[in-house]
Amino acid sequence: MFEAWGRFVYRYSAIVAIASAVVLGATVMGLRDGGPLSTATTIGANVESDRAARLMDSEIQGQIATGSTALLVFRSSRWRVEDPEYRSALEASLGRVSVDRRVRAVVTPYSVPPAAASRFISRDGHEALVEIDLRDDSSVAADYFGQLRQEVRSDRLEVLATGEVPISAGFTKALSNDLERAERISLPLSLLLLLLVFGSVVAALLPLGVGGLTVLGAIGAVLLLARATDISQYALNLVAMIGLGVSIDYSLFLISRFREELRRTASVEEALAVTEATAGRAVVFSGVTLAVGLSALLFYQGTFMASLGAAGAITAGIAVFYSATLLPAMLAVLGRRVDRLRLRIPWIGTAREPGIWGRIAAAVMRRPIAVLVPTLVFLLALGAPFAGIRLASGGTTMLPPHWEVRQGYDRLVGDFPGYEQSTLTVVVRYPGGNPLAGEHVGELYDLSRRLGALPGVLQVSGPFDVDPDLTRDDYLRLYAQPEDQRPSELRAAVKDSVGRHIVVYGVTLNHPAQSDAARQLLERVRAQRLRQGQLQVTGPTAFDVDTIDYILDRTPATAGFVVGCTLLALFLLTGSLVLPVKAVISNLLSMTASFGALVFIFQQGHFASQLDFTPQPIDPVIPVMTFATVFGLSMDYEVLLISRMQEVYRATGDTTRAVAATLQTTGRLITGAAAIMVAVFSAFALGDVLIIKALGIGLAIAVALDATIVRALVVPSVMRLLGDINWWAPAPLQRLLVRSGFVERWVPAPRSG
């Protein structure tokens, strides 16, 4: 089938190229007509914290004016907040913002009652907090907040912006900057490496062109998908990271095999047919495996990872499409001109294999156990830190310490009383009717007092905490009165915290949201029982814990799906049951080492100053994304190696010779491909957003280990130990594959030598 496709492309290259251009045009329309990207990290997961938040949105938020908030932190080393000079400078800097029609209100330490002013003044008295209430919600306000920020200027006070809207805008800007920076770095670096591999300008430009078109088309397709469903703003970075890396790799494999076949035959058609039957087949299987691995993220419906899985699978599909259509059509047109504009440097792009990979393989296979055991120990030692992983959803601290919104956040948490605390939001639901009915009031009052008595709880706010002098009987009496006869403070509390069927409490904790102490308190709050009401808890700590549990609950099924589909794809490619198992185990080794490195770097804090990040727990998105992506990417080299080994084995009947000859033939190519992949991922490792930085580093480490230590040491030693068992499968299965056309019928060759 693949050989026939190669001949078809050669004869009808113009038609194939036009079809590729039509598909590109259709996807690029998304750049103009695509939908907006989502900044949410949870979009409908059926977990307790999300259900409670939806209850509040449906029953209480409609009673409260919509909008969003930004915070400004002012500081003076000379004056204190109560000094007239400080007040004059602060109010002067806010003059233009105060009258901006997009601003609902500006709250300063001077505009609130004296009793509330302490919340707006730092502990040392030199910093003031200003709250800017905006009329639009965060997603809209983030687009114009930069303009508002420019309106706040002071030559006497230092000003930092933070809070809901600036942080949201900061993440959007950081992700955009990360994408642009990675492209500026990875494209020239990839071109340099391609020149070193091919020694020809034309051959080097082809993969880069295919990579650029893949990324362009994939971004357009993802933006079109965003019109129908929520797609995370992280998707574009993932598309660029994966699209550029794999499309260049696929092109590298195809062009290398095409040049190799041109040296063997005078016919360009024959060279293209053999290229498609070998490297083209391997690329399709590799791309399918990558798409399957990334689509496994769809198991995490309700989190932004599901949209990343869809975006990644689309990218892999487009990379395979252009590798199977546009690139072969260009090779058909160029023919032997693919080697035009050669670099006149003897050691670049030479066709003669230096033989170092063959010598390494031969040396490894002479003493396979002596090589395999220490190599496994080394890889497992690299992965050892993974045993101490601590998972927590990332927040503002994922931005670099030098960013303004991050500096403002650090000042807010470190200098102002109460902002280092966290809040659990308790939602009590009575499905049958009014939550303030007489039979419920006593139960709700008792719950409020039990919550307030828990160790670590600073205060409880809600409709039963309006006045500390009011007793249980007082609340029973007051809520039995008609609403218009209740005190105004009570009516205000009911408006803010009581819906048709729910009552909401705010439980303030003396612990940061991601701390173990906050998680333990969450567990104790959720353990509270009511006779009639249904208690649910939301808030940052609850979302964090629920998201982690949600991901962990689905990870076994996800891993099983990825591994199972990988085994199936490799079995269909090779006709062997043993080689797919070896490939999966090899992947897990490099992946474990990569996970250990992530914990060592980002959780334990090694190289934090060099990489410009704050050590913190690992966001659960990072290992899951790394697993799904690495499993697919490592198949590039596995498929290429196995395909070539199978060719030699079928010709010689000698596994040892097949391994040595294949590594000698493809080792340099795999090294070059891995170097390009590592270069692309490392460019994203220079990003500002911690998730992108960690993904870049994790993927770069995994690919580097997989293409060097695993392929050079683990694979030859294991295949030498297994011998002919590598190619084993039950005879009925092999006959089925032959009849289906997945593998060729062949007769084992007699052993040579």
Long-range contacts of 90-93 (CB under 8 A, 24+ apart): 90/128, 90/130, 90/154, 90/157, 92/154, 93/152, 93/153, 93/154, 93/157, 93/159
Q: What is the DSSP letter of 619?
A: P
Residue 487 confidence (pLDDT): 87
242 or 654, which is more confident: 242
Strands 422-429 and 534-538: antiparallel
Is residue 246 within 8 Å of residue 285, measured between CB atoms?
Answer: no
Burial of residue 402 (CB within 10 Å: 0-12, 13-18, 19+) is exposed
- Give the pLDDT band (50/70/90) at residue 64: very low
Distance, CA of 571 to chain centre: 29
- pTM, two decimal places: 0.84
Average pLDDT score over residue span 519-535: 93
Q: In this structure, are residues 543 and 42 in contact, taking their beta carbons and an 8 Å threshold?
A: yes
Indicate the CATH number of 356-411+557-741+749-753 among 1.20.1640.10, 1.20.1260.10, 1.10.357.10, 2.120.10.30: 1.20.1640.10
Q: Where are the alpha helices (DSSP H) in 263-325?
A: 268-275, 281-295, 304-324
Angle at the Cα of 414 (from 79 to 148), degrees rounded to 5?
70
Higher-confidence position of 707 and 180? 180
Whether 599 shows a pLDDT value over 90: the answer reads yes
* Of 631 and 448, more confident: 448
More confident call, 639 vs 20: 20
Q: pLDDT tens-digit profile of 116-127?
A: 898 899 999 999
How is residue 597 written in tokens?
Answer: 């490195």
Mean pLDDT of 84-100: 94
Are both 1-54+200-331 and 356-411+557-741+749-753 of the same fold? Answer: yes
Q: Do 279 and 621 meet the contact criterion of CB atoms below 8 Å apart?
A: no
Report which residue type is found at 375.
T
Q: Looking at residue 434, what is its pLDDT?
A: 86
DSSP β-bridge partners for residue 423: 508
- C-alpha–C-alpha distance, residues 236 and 223, integer Å: 9
**Amino acid identity for residue 430 in this structure:** Y
Contact present, 361 and 659 (Cβ < 8 Å): yes
Report yes or no: 261 and 271 within 8 Å, Cβ to Cβ. yes
Distance CA 72, CA 150 (A): 12
The CATH T-level fold of domain 1-54+200-331 is: Multidrug efflux transporter AcrB transmembrane fold (1.20.1640)
Q: Provide mean pLDDT across the span 482-510.
A: 88
Asked whether residue 753 carries a pLDDT value surpassing 70, the answer given is: no
Share of the chain above pLDDT 70, in %: 94
Query: Could you report the per-residue pLDDT of 381-415, keeping only the tens digit for each?
Result: 999 999 999 988 888 899 999 999 999 999 999 99
Q: Which residue has the higher pLDDT, 541 or 658?
A: 541
Q: What is the pLDDT of residue 519?
A: 93
- For the chain, the domains span 1-54+200-331, 67-168, 356-411+557-741+749-753, 422-544
CA–CA separation, 550 vs 301, rounded Å? 10
d(CA 719, CA 269) in angstroms, rounded, equals 35
| Most confident of the ranges 155-159, 167-171, 624-628, 674-678 | 155-159
Helix, strand, coil abundance in the chain, percent, nearest 5: 65, 10, 25
d(CA 90, CA 96): 12
Provide the 10 A C-beta neighbour count for residue 15: 12
Are residues 698 and 278 in contact, defined by beta-carbon separation less than 8 angstroms?
A: no
30-45 per-residue burial string, b: 16 or more CB within 10 A, e: under 16: beeebbebbbebbbeb
d(CA 679, CA 699): 11
3-state secondary structure of 34: coil
Rounded to whole angstroms, how far apart are CA atoms 55 and 427? 8
Q: How would residue 354 be classed by pLDDT, with cut points 50, 70 and 90?
A: very low
Mean pLDDT of 648-666: 80
Instruction: Please state, in angstroms and rounded to a whole number, the distance separating the CA atoms of residues 525 and 529.
Output: 9
CA angle 210, 26, 635 (to 5 degrees): 40
Number of CB atoms found within 10 A of residue 180's CB: 11
What was the pLDDT predicted at 1?
75
CATH superfamily entry for domain 67-168: Multidrug efflux transporter AcrB pore domain (3.30.70.1430)
Look-up: residue for tokens 């190696």? 641
Write the secondary structure of 645-692 as one string of H (helix), E (strand) and C (coil).
Answer: HHHHHHHHCCHHHHHHHHHHHHHHHHHHHHHHHHHHHHHHHCCCCHHH
Taking all residues of the chain, what is their mean pLDDT, rounded to a whole number? 87
Bridge partner residues of 130 (DSSP): 72
When pLDDT is averaged across residues 200-218 and rounded to a whole number, the result is 91
Q: Is residue 518 classed as helix, strand or coil in its secondary structure?
A: helix
pLDDT band at 45 (very low <50, low <70, confident <90, very high): low
C-alpha distances in Å from residue 681, one per residue of 288, 437, 688: 21, 60, 14
Q: Is the pLDDT of residue 63 over 60?
A: no
CA dist., res. 704 & res. 674, Å (int)? 6
Over residues 507-520, mean pLDDT: 89
Distance CA 272, CA 39 (A): 45
3-class SS of residue 596: helix
Query: 510 near 452, Cβ under 8 Å?
Result: no
The pair of structure tokens assigned to 1 is 């089938």
What pLDDT sits at residue 746? 46
Which run of H or of E encompasses 131? strand 127-134
Give the C-alpha separation, 424 to 546, whole Å.
13
Give the pLDDT of residue 752. Answer: 46
Question: By three-state DSSP, how is residue 506 classified?
Answer: strand
Q: Compute the distance between CA of residue 515 and CA of residue 509 in angstroms, rounded to an integer.
A: 11
Instruction: Flag the least confident range among 65-74, 161-170, 342-351.
Output: 342-351
**Distance between CA atoms of 735 and 753, rounded to whole angstroms?**
29
Cβ distance 449 to 502 under 8 Å?
A: no
The pair of three-digit structure tokens given for residue 278, joined into one six-digit string: 């070998």
Q: Phi/psi at 606 (nearest 5 deg)?
A: -70, 135
Look at residue 41 in the predicted model and tell me its pLDDT.
Answer: 62
pLDDT of residue 745 exceeding 70, the answer is: no
Q: What is the pLDDT, as a whole number, of residue 353?
A: 46
pLDDT given for residue 744 in this prediction: 55
